[in-house]
Structure 1
Amino acid sequence: MSDLPFGFSMPNDPDDESGRRSGDSGSGAGSGRPGGGDSGTPDGFPFGDPQQMANMLRQFADMMSAQPSPGPGGGGSTPSSGVNWEMAKDVARQTVAQEGDPSVPVSDYAKVEEALRLADLWLDQATDLPSGVQTAQAWSRSEWVEKTMESWVQLCDPLTSRTVRSMGQNLPEEMQSVAGPLLGMIQQMGSMMVGRQAGQAVGELSREVVGTADIGLPLAGEGNAALLPGGVERFSEGLQVPADEVRLYLAAREAAVHRLYAHVPWLRSHVYRLVSEYADGMSFDVSGLEDRLGEIDLTNPEALQEVLGGAGGESLLQPEDTPQQKAALGRLETTLALIEGWVATVVSSAVSGRLPQSDALSEATRRRRATGGPAEHTFAALVGLELRPRRLREASALWSALEEARGIEGRDAVWQHPDLMPTGEDLDDPDAFVSGGGDFGGADFDISSLTGDAPGAGPDRGGAPEADGSEDDGDDTRGKDS
Structure 2
Amino acid sequence: MSDLPFGFGLPDRDDEGQDKDPARRGQPADPFGFGALFGGAGAGAGNPEELLAKMPLFAELQKLMNWSGGPVNWDLARQGAISQLAAGHQPTSEAERAAVAEALRLADLWLDQATDLPSGVDRALAWSRVEWVEQTLPAWSALIDPLAERVVAAMTSALPQEAASMMGPIAGMMGRMGGMMFGAQVGQALGKLADEVLTSTEVGLPLAPSGAGVLVPQNVEEFAAGLDRPIDEVRLFLALREAASQRLFAHVPWLRQQLTDAVHAYARGITVDRDAIERGIAEAMGGMEGGIDPSDPETLQRLLPALEPEETPEQQMALRRLETLLALVEGWVDTVVAAAASQRLPGYAALAETMRRRRASGGPAEQTFATLVGLQLRPRRLRDAATVWAAMGQQRGPEERDRLWSHPDLLPTSEDLDEPMDFVARQGMDDELSALTAEEPPAKPDDEDKPDDKPDDEAGPSPA
- Output the amino acid matched with 2:169: P
- Output the amino acid matched with 2:75: E
Measured at CA, do residues 222 and 366 of structure 1 come closer, stay the same or move farther in structure 2, by a change above 3 Å?
farther
Q: CA RMSD in A?
A: 3.2
Q: Deviation of residue 65 (structure 1)?
A: 5.0
Partner in structure 2 of residue 426 of structure 1? 416
C-alpha contact 1:127 1:346 (8 A) present in aligned 2: yes
Partner in structure 2 of residue 102 of structure 1? 90
C-alpha contact 1:168 1:184 (8 A) present in aligned 2: no
Once the two structures are superposed, residues 414-443 of structure 1 have per-residue CA deviations (whole angstroms, 9 ceiling, x without a partner) of 1111111111111122233223369x8326
Q: Deviation of residue 325 (structure 1)?
A: 0.9
C-alpha contact 1:137 1:226 (8 A) present in aligned 2: yes
The residue correspondences of 1:48-447 to structure 2 (distance < 5 A) are 65-67=62-64, 77-78=69-70, 82-97=71-86, 99-284=87-272, 287=277, 290=281, 291=283, 297-300=293-296, 317-373=307-363, 377=367, 380=369, 382-386=371-375, 388=377, 390=379, 391-436=381-426, 441-442=430-431
Once the two structures are superposed, residues 336-374 of structure 1 have per-residue CA deviations (whole angstroms, 9 ceiling, x without a partner) of 000000000000111111111111111111222233259
C-alpha contact 2:294 2:300 (8 A) present in aligned 1: no
Once the two structures are superposed, residues 239-258 of structure 1 have per-residue CA deviations (whole angstroms, 9 ceiling, x without a partner) of 21221111110000000000
C-alpha contact 1:211 1:226 (8 A) present in aligned 2: yes
C-alpha contact 2:332 2:389 (8 A) present in aligned 1: yes
- Output the amino acid matched with 2:214: A
Q: Equivalent residue of 1:283, what SS?
A: coil
- Output the amino acid matched with 1:364: T
Once the two structures are superposed, residues 296-333 of structure 1 have per-residue CA deviations (whole angstroms, 9 ceiling, x without a partner) of 65445x6578779x8xxxx9844422211111100110
C-alpha contact 2:64 2:75 (8 A) present in aligned 1: no
Q: Deviation of residue 381 (structure 1)?
A: 6.1
Measured at CA, do residues 142 and 247 of structure 1 come closer, stay the same or move farther in structure 2, by a change above 3 Å?
same
Which is further off, 159-168 or 321-330? 159-168
Measured at CA, do residues 304 and 90 of structure 1 come closer, stay the same or move farther in structure 2, by a change above 3 Å?
farther
Q: Equivalent residue of 1:340, what SS?
A: helix
Distance in 2, matches of 1:207 and 1:316, equals 36
C-alpha contact 1:225 1:258 (8 A) present in aligned 2: yes
Q: TM-score, normalised by structure 1?
A: 0.70
Once the two structures are superposed, residues 423-481 of structure 1 have per-residue CA deviations (whole angstroms, 9 ceiling, x without a partner) of 1111122233223369x8326869xx9xxxxxxxxxxxxxxxxxxxxxxxxxxxxxxxx
RCO comparison, higher one (Cα < 8 Å, 6+): 2
* Structure 1: segments with no counterpart, 5+ residues: 11-62, 71-75, 450-482
Once the two structures are superposed, residues 50-87 of structure 1 have per-residue CA deviations (whole angstroms, 9 ceiling, x without a partner) of xxxxxxxxxxxxx98542666xxxxx633xxx222232
Q: Deviation of residue 9 (structure 1)?
A: 10
Greater percentage in helix: 2
* Structure 2: segments with no counterpart, 5+ residues: 1-38, 40-45, 53-59, 439-464
Instruction: Tell me how many residue pairs correspond in the alignment.
Output: 376
